[in-house]
Structures are given as structure tokens and as C-alpha cells.
């Protein structure tokens, strides 16, 4: 913590505050703050102080929950001895939370607090009670003012005046009434499309595709679309907000209050009621699939889940999958209408599937039998072609592991002194012999069902492999691809309309379980 240096120098901090927020202007450039600073510097010079630091605030000091880091830092510096005096232009500019904010300084000897306009100084004993009284007066003034403002706003709300920033698509007139603004066509489009049965997500994607942007400049999201559809203000009525949700305001007679200017266009009540009934499930959306269409199995792509966007990076945790969008594979964020991917890619679905199948076929029919990819294919082929035998082998392998863990547990217990003495040693030998016998028994059971290497001749033969591929449905083809492929990165086309070729698919081939790349021979790495 910085302490003041030894010597006769006395340090002064200035706390400057303007309660009415001035947006778009730096705190040091606000006129009233500059005037306070000039007076503070003159006072420091006349009283033999050196300015240590100036704290500037442009916010309300009465609102509950408001954070005042500058105020807190100024008081902390005074109490900790970093400064000798804290000067404030006016007691009402210091705090309006009551006497508590001044008593923390009054109760500490040697801490000086000066209010210039009030001519109050904590070094003068007679000023102590006046300072406390001023603090309570400021608090009471703010409380009364807050109640007056609340009553005034309530009256204005009853009169149909809009009291805050204009809703999206609207603007506020001089009489505090609402009327359509520049984005009103977007509001009308949202309500009309929702009344026709379009989902919030589909509406948001359409708006983004047509160049509309959110208030922050990003793509239109489905959540704001939903809020617009639920907001009664677009019917022309006054609303109030509870936890971010808009509700219809009713006056003392229980009737809604019109907030739109006379003659201004609003959303028709019929349109609003129609999409609200659809959202509630009372009415059915248009173009929804029939029961027969829903029961019909969906033809999925064999490459679904394998394709990734190369523009999103190669990190599996941060990369982006390429999902099916119409007749194409497209970067996932791009399908959602967002721009989180730095270089999104797209490729025709038919071309991607065709080229990927060709590369898979070429790899399986031309690779060496000792290629790690073919060893991984052999492992997966057993589970795909002989699922029952594969399950039995997996269970037998699990029994071996359990039996081996039992032997290892006995060894740990014995090393820890669990079997001491002659009786303990005999017990350990007996238990370990039984455990080892369980391992041998489990191993024999595994050998009875295990296949040292799968017969993948059907995949190695070009003609038989092609017939196997053509005879399967999309789901089975996807399983065949996954025998050899971990994932595929779709690269961007060199130019618009370029034909998709193998060089645009960066395939990550599978490796067998526990496989590690061989270490280079001595001297080989330096070549």
C-alpha cells in the first residue's frame, strides 16, 4: 500500500461528482466537474495542500445497488493514510445514503473531510453535528424526490406517455407518444411471418439473410424475435416490465391505455392473436408434416457428424461442425445466422458424399494390410459384421481385466501389511492362488471367442467393397465410413462455383486402440 512520504507535505484528494449522467462525454470534460476541479485546486493552494489524486464520478449516488468505485477508493485512501484530506464540492455530491457514509470518517481521529459549498470541516468540532444533519437531509431529499418522480411517472403512464427508450421499430414524439420508425417494416414482417406459422428461428435467419441486424450490429436472434411477438406495445398499448417481460398496463378502471400517437399504424389485433394461438398450440402451424410423413424414416447423409468446417480451426473442442442445410454442408454457425466462425465454408452435399466415398474406397483397397488405418478397420469390422461375437469377446475381455485387478489388489494389501504372521501369509497365498486361477479361466474363455484378426477381404477387394457400399442404406454406409474415418475437414473453394475435388477434403483416418506412432531410428530425425 502506498504511504505518504515523510516530511511536511500534506496531500489532498478531490472527489468530483455530477449526479445527472452525461453520456458520450469523458468525465474530465464535463463542465460542472471542471469547475469543481478549479475550485478544489485553488483551495488546496490556499491551505497548503498538494493534490495527490482527483476522483471523478458521473452517476447517481442515491440509487440502491449502484457501485461507486471512485467514491470507495477516495474514502479508502483517506482512512488508510494515503491522503491527509478529502475535499468535496457539496455535501449532496458526497453521498445521499445518510449519516453512515460520514460517520465512518468522523469516528476516526485525524481524518479531515471538507465540504466547500457548505463551508463545513470535520476539523471544526462545531461542524460535526451539522455534517451529520446535512447527510440525513440529503438522504431525505432524495427519498422525497424519488417518490415525486415515481408519482409523476405513474400519472404520465396513465396519460399514455412513453417514459423510456423507444421499443425496436418505433420512435418517440415530442409529446412522448410512439409512432413507427425506420425498422417498423421489420416489426410488421416478424408478426406476419409468425401468423403464417414460421418459427422464431426461421424468422431470425430470414431477417439476417436480408441484411437486417440486431441493435448491437450482430445477426438477428430468435430470442429478441420472441420478445417482439409477445410485446403488447406493438398493438398500440401501454406496457410495464417485470423481470424483462412486457405486460399490458391497465389503468385504475381496469382498461388498457393507448400509447401510440393518434392515427399511427399498429399491428392488427387479428394478426397478433393468430400467432399467439399458434405459439400456445391452439392452432396448427402451416406446412407441418402429416402423421404419415412424421412416421416415415428420414434419409440421413452417411457423412453426417463426420464433416467439420476447416475455417473454424482444428481444435475438436473449439471447432465447428458442418451441418446439412438444404442441399449443402455448411458451417454450423453460418446455418444459425451468426458470425463466430472466421472463415465459414460450404459444399454441395452430393459432391461431398461422392468424393468422400471414393477416397474411403481407395484407402481400403490400396492401403497396406499393416497400415494403422487397416488395423483400426479390422477392429471395427468385427463389431459391424459380427455384433454378437464382438459383444461376447468384449465381455470376456472385461472379465480378464476384473480378475487381474483382483490379483493386483491382493498384492497391494499384502505390501501394506494386511497379511502378517504365519496365518496371514497362508491366507494371502491361498487367496492369490485362487485369483490367479480366475485370471487363467477368464483368459481361456476369451480365447474361445476371440478372433486374432478380422477377415476384411470383402473390404480389400475393389468390386466386392463397391457392391457392399451400394447395397447398404445411408445408415449402414455411415457405419462403413466410420470404420476408417475419424473426421473430415471441409476446406474453402478456391473460387466461386469451383467443382469439389478430393483436395478440399482433409480426412483424419482412424488408428487402432492404443496405437502409438513408431519412434524414428537413430539419426533419422536429423535428416
pLDDT at 426: 80
The domains found in the chain, sorted by start residue, are 11-143 (3.40.50.1390), 170-288 (3.90.1750.20), 359-509 (no CATH)
The larger pLDDT score, comparing residue 395 to residue 367, is at: 367
Of 461, 500, 468, give the one whose Cα is nearest residue 355: 500
Percentage of the chain modeled with pLDDT above 90: 16
Neighbours of 156 (CB within 10 A): 14
For residue 294, give the C-alpha cell.
Answer: 412424421
pLDDT band at 99 (very low <50, low <70, confident <90, very high): low
pLDDT band at 255 (very low <50, low <70, confident <90, very high): confident
Q: Decide if 381 contacts 454 (C-beta within 8 A).
A: yes
The larger pLDDT score, comparing residue 480 to residue 25, is at: 480
Of 54, 60, 88, give the one whose Cα is nearest residue 73: 54
Q: Decide if 222 contacts 187 (C-beta within 8 A).
A: no
Residue located via cell numbers 465540504: 115
Q: Can you tell me whether residue 99 is helix, strand or coil?
A: coil
Q: Decide if 160 contacts 238 (C-beta within 8 A).
A: yes
Of 368, 355, 377, 386, give the one whose Cα is nearest residue 498: 355
pLDDT at 4: 47
Of 263, 261, 256, give the one whose Cα is nearest residue 162: 261
For residues 419 and 364, give the distance between their C-alpha atoms in angstroms, rounded to a whole number. 56
The larger pLDDT score, comparing residue 515 to residue 47, is at: 47
Of 164, 190, 194, 187, give the one whose Cα is nearest residue 176: 164
pLDDT band at 188 (very low <50, low <70, confident <90, very high): very high
Amino acid at each position: 500500500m502506498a504511504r505518504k512520504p515523510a516530511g511536511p507535505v500534506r496531500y489532498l484528494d478531490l472527489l468530483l461528482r455530477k449526479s445527472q449522467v452525461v453520456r458520450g462525454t469523458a468525465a474530465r470534460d464535463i463542465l460542472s466537474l471542471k469547475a469543481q476541479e478549479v475550485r478544489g485546486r485553488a483551495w488546496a493552494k490556499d491551505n497548503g495542500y498538494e493534490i495527490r489524486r482527483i476522483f471523478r464520478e458521473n452517476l447517481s449516488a442515491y440509487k440502491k445497488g449502484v457501485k461507486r468505485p471512485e467514491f470507495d477508493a477516495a474514502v479508502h485512501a483517506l482512512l488508510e493514510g494515503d491522503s491527509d484530506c478529502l475535499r468535496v464540492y457539496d455535501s449532496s455530491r458526497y453521498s445521499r445514503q445518510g449519516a453512515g457514509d460520514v460517520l465512518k470518517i468522523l469516528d476516526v481521529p485525524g481524518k479531515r473531510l471538507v465540504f466547500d459549498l457548505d463551508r463545513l470541516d470535520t476539523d471544526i468540532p462545531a461542524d460535526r453535528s451539522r455534517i451529520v444533519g446535512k447527510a440525513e437531509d440529503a438522504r431525505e431529499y432524495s427519498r422525497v424526490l424519488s417518490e415525486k418522480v415515481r408519482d409523476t411517472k405513474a400519472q404520465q403512464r396513465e396519460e399514455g406517455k412513453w417514459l423510456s427508450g423507444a421499443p425496436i421499430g418505433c420512435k418517440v414524439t415530442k409529446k412522448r407518444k410512439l409512432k413507427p420508425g425506420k425498422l417498423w417494416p421489420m416489426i410488421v414482417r416478424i408478426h406476419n411471418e409468425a401468423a403464417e406459422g414460421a418459427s422464431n428461428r426461421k424468422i431470425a435467419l430470414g431477417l439476417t439473410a436480408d441484411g437486417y441486424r440486431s441493435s448491437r450490429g450482430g445477426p438477428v436472434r430468435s430470442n429478441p424475435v420472441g420478445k417482439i411477438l409477445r410485446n403488447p406495445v406493438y398493438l398500440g398499448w401501454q406496457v410495464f416490465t417485470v423481470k424483462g417481460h412486457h405486460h399490458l398496463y391497465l389503468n385504475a378502471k381496469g382498461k388498457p391505455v393507448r400509447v401510440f400517437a393518434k392515427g399511427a399504424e399498429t399491428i392488427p389485433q387479428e394478426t397478433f392473436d393468430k400467432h399467439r394461438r399458434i405459439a400456445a398450440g391452439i392452432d396448427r402451424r402451416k406446412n407441418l408434416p402429416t402423421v404419415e410423413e412424421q412416421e416415415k424414416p428420414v434419409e440421413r447423409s452417411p457423412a453426417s457428424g463426420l464433416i467439420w468446417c476447416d475455417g473454424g480451426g482444428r481444435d475438436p473442442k473449439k471447432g465447428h461442425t458442418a451441418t446439412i442445410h438444404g442441399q449443402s454442408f455448411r458451417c454450423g454457425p453460418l446455418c444459425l445466422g451468426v458470425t463466430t466462425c472466421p472463415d465459414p465454408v460450404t459444399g454441395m452435399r452430393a459432391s461431398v458424399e461422392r468424393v468422400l466415398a471414393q477416397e474411403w474406397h481407395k484407402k481400403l483397397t490400396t492401403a497396406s494390410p499393416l497400415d494403422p488405418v487397416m488395423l483400426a478397420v479390422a477392429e471395427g469390422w468385427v463389431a459391424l459384421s459380427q455384433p454378437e461375437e464382438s459383444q461376447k469377446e468384449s465381455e470376456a475381455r472385461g472379465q480378464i481385466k476384473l480378475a487381474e485387478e483382483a490379483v493386483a489388489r491382493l498384492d497391494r494389501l499384502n505390501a501394506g501389511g494386511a497379511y502378517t504372521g504365519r496365518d496371514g501369509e497362508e491366507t494371502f497365498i491361498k487367496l492369490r492362488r485362487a485369483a490367479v486361477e480366475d485370471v487363467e479361466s477368464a483368459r481361456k474363455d476369451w480365447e474361445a471367442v476371440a478372433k486374432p484378426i478380422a477377415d476384411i477381404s470383402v473390404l480389400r477387394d475393389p468390386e466386392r467393397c463397391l457392391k457392399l457400399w451400394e447395397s447398404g442404406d445411408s445408415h449402414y454406409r455411415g457405419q462403413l465410413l466410420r470404420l476408417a474415418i475419424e473426421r473430415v475437414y471441409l476446406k474453402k473453394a478456391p473460387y466461386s462455383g469451383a467443382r469439389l475435388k478430393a483436395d478440399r477434403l482433409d480426412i483424419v483416418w482412424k488408428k487402432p486402440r492404443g496405437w502409438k506412432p513408431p519412434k524414428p531410428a537413430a539419426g533419422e530425425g536429423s535428416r
